[in-house]
Amino acid sequence: MKYSILFGPPGAGKGTQAASMVENYNLCHLSTGALLRSEIAAGTPLGLKAKSLIEAGNLVPDEVVEGMIASRFASAPAVAGFLLDGFPRTIAQAQALDAMLKERGEEVTAVVSIMIPDEMIAQRIAHRATIEGRADDAAPEIVQNRIDTYHQKTEPIIGYYSAAGKYHEIDGTGTIEEVAGRISALMNKF
Ligand code: AP5
Ligand code: MG
């Protein structure tokens, strides 16, 4: 089973690119952001706990997302692997993922990192705000907090996976098709 991580700052295009990757490589897409938004929409206790954190652009506690991922791994769908989008997002989550996979006799296959500059993050999210109506896209201060949180808490995992020889970065600027081509060229190696 393959366990690929789609990494990148907010608005880099993870969700956009995941759609074709799951089809092309027969993967199960696990987006912790999307899972949390459906918990909020369903009004579950977990959703209620996560709502105010997400809407302020802060991370939810590590154990919440780790539990969500562990239960999806356990249900073992008939796929060639998993595509993790938005997880892990802290060093603690990366370590928890390694421990979860070790128990299954597995390991992270590769980290595919979509990189764009901060100015482009703000532009893409402002555009999406007019289309999708996500609460955490609604105000520039919330978007800035997500960008700051990314730099402080998430970016350090680049070093974690680089040290393990698993980190692969691609240029996330250009058209959706151009970025998809760069991702395919990389994915075909694993
Ligand atoms: P999450 O849903 O993961 O949000 P995010 O990381 O901020 O990323 P986005 O979904 O905003 O961006 P994306 O990279 O998917 O870009 P997209 O493809 O949509 O997380 C939300 C929140 O949940 C977090 O802030 C946190 O509170 C919580 N959370 C989630 N996971 C967590 C975890 N592990 N731990 C703790 N808390 C967690 O593209 C963006 C826009 O750009 C779209 O409009 C798209 O059409 C457009 N676009 C994409 N590619 C291109 C291109 N090449 N050219 C032009 N436009 C493009
Ligand atoms: Mg997304």
Q: Which of 21, 30, 32 to mutate to test the pocket of ligand 1 (most atoms within 8 A of CB)?
A: 32
Could you report the per-residue pLDDT of 157-179, keeping only the tens digit for each?
999 999 999 999 999 999 999 99
Q: How far apart are CA 13 and CA 8, in angstroms?
A: 8
Q: How far apart are CA 158 and CA 169, in angstroms?
A: 10
188 within domain boundaries: no
Q: How far apart are CA 88 and CA 27, in angstroms?
A: 17
Contact assessment for residue 103 and residue 96, using Cβ atoms and an 8 Å cutoff: no
- What CATH number is given to the structural domain containing 137? 3.40.50.300
52 within domain boundaries: yes
In the reported structure, the alpha carbon of residue 137 is separated from the centroid of ligand 1 by a whole-number distance in angstroms of: 10
110 within domain boundaries: yes
Residue 33 alpha carbon, nearest atom of ligand 1: 2
| Structural domain span for residue 72 | 2-183
For atom 8 of ligand 1, the residue with the nearest CA is 10
What is the per-residue burial (b if ≥16 Cβ within 10 Å, else e) of 61-71?
ebebbbebbee
Q: Provide the number of structural domains found in the chain.
A: 1
Contact assessment for residue 174 and residue 88, using Cβ atoms and an 8 Å cutoff: no
164 within domain boundaries: yes
Residue 179 alpha carbon, nearest atom of ligand 1: 53
In order along its 190 residues, the chain shows pLDDT tens digits of 999 999 999 999 999 999 999 999 999 999 999 999 999 999 999 999 999 999 999 999 999 999 999 999 988 678 999 999 999 999 999 999 999 999 999 999 999 999 999 999 999 999 999 999 999 999 999 999 999 999 999 999 999 999 999 999 999 999 999 999 999 999 999 9
Is 8's C-beta closer than 6 angstroms to any atom of ligand 1?
Answer: yes
160 within domain boundaries: yes
Is 20's C-beta closer than 6 angstroms to any atom of ligand 1?
Answer: no
